[in-house]
Amino acid sequence: MTQQLNGDPNENMQTGMVPPQQNHGGHEMFDVSEILSGAVNALNLYVLLKPHVKDPELLDLMNRQEQFMITEYNTIVECFQTGVKPSVSTEVYNMKQGNDFVYGLKQTPPVKPIGMPGEITDQVISSLMLNLVKSNASLKGMATTEVTNPTVRRVLADTIPNCIEMAYEISIYQNKHHFYQVPQLPVGDMQQMVSAYAPVQMKQH
What does the CA dihedral 11, 16, 21, 26 come to, rounded to 10 degrees? 120
User: Residue 205 and residue 186: Cα distance in Å, rounded?
Assistant: 43
Per CATH, the number for 17-103+118-194 is 1.20.1260
User: Residue 187 and residue 19: Cα distance in Å, rounded?
Assistant: 58
Helix, strand, or coil here: 172?
helix
Let me know: does 3 contact 65? Beta carbons within 8 Å. Answer: no
pTM (two decimals): 0.84
- pLDDT: which is higher, 116 or 205: 116
Let me know: does 144 contact 152? Beta carbons within 8 Å. Answer: no
User: Residue 159 and residue 77: Cα distance in Å, rounded?
Assistant: 13
pLDDT at 155: 95
Residue 147 CB-half CA count within 13 A: 24
Question: Could you report the per-residue pLDDT of 113-170, keeping only the tens digit for each?
Answer: 999 999 999 999 999 999 999 999 999 999 999 898 999 999 999 999 999 999 999 9
Q: Which amino acid is residue 37, in one-letter code?
A: S
pLDDT at 10: 46
Question: Could you report the per-residue pLDDT of 45-60, keeping only the tens digit for each?
Answer: 999 999 999 999 999 9
pLDDT at 16: 58
Instruction: For the chain, report the end-to-end CA distance as a whole number of angstroms.
Output: 36
Burial of 191 (0-12, 13-18, 19+ CB in 10 A): exposed
User: Residue 29 and residue 152: Cα distance in Å, rounded?
Assistant: 11
pLDDT at 130: 96
